[in-house]
Amino acid sequence: MPSMSPPDSYSDMTDPDTPQRRARQRPTNYTPLFLTIAMLVGVILAASFIFNKKNAMNEEGPSGPDQPNPEFIDPFAKFNQVSGDDLYRDLVGEVGPNIIDAAPPELDHRELFQSAMRRADRGIALKDEALAARDAGNDAEYDRLGRQAFQTLDAAFKSVRDWELTIIDQYSSKDGQVRAIIKEITRWKKARDKFIKLPGIVDSLGSADRE
């Protein structure tokens, strides 16, 4: 009696090298599923962000040219709106909310200060002549008069420098008379410094005189 062989399908399933056997042993690939879930989560988050943003804009109201931004407070507005002289008057002027009256009357009548003022007046006049010569293109005259103006104003400034520090120490820079004197002396120094760049001038000054 001839022997009965198993059907081909059975041998295919028991043979590890058959396509059917390899298909049953291959692990399941979940990557497409994970990508689909991630995309859905991303869409939900994006929709939630847009919804919340729209609600916030509705609560704030419309924006545009008809809706001005909150007022910006410029901390330097005072410096931008006033002239140099007005600003200096606020800082070192004769009037103001912090002015006191501590110095004796007619402090500026002291002979030391009056003598310095007369010398400074001559220096201011020389300064004006020197600048006029410069504007006229007369460099030699500008140099000559500028040096005279510098020397005269520098002498006036130095003659009262120690006295200025003394009255500040005694009566405070908040005193009205002291402030007026400081302002006048500062005017001399500013006029003097217009010629500080002339050749050789800066070399004749000490570090304290350049301030």
Nearest to 82 by CA among 72, 90, 74: 90
Q: What pLDDT does 149 receive?
A: 96
This prediction has a pTM of 0.52
Contact 107, 167 (CB under 8 A): yes
Q: What pLDDT does 75 receive?
A: 44
Q: What pLDDT does 202 receive?
A: 73
Q: What pLDDT does 101 receive?
A: 83
Contact 79, 87 (CB under 8 A): yes
What's the average pLDDT block by block, 10 residues per block, for the chain (211 residues)? 50 52 56 74 74 63 48 46 44 57 89 95 96 96 96 96 95 92 95 91 61 51
Contact 163, 90 (CB under 8 A): no
Q: What pLDDT does 91 receive?
A: 46
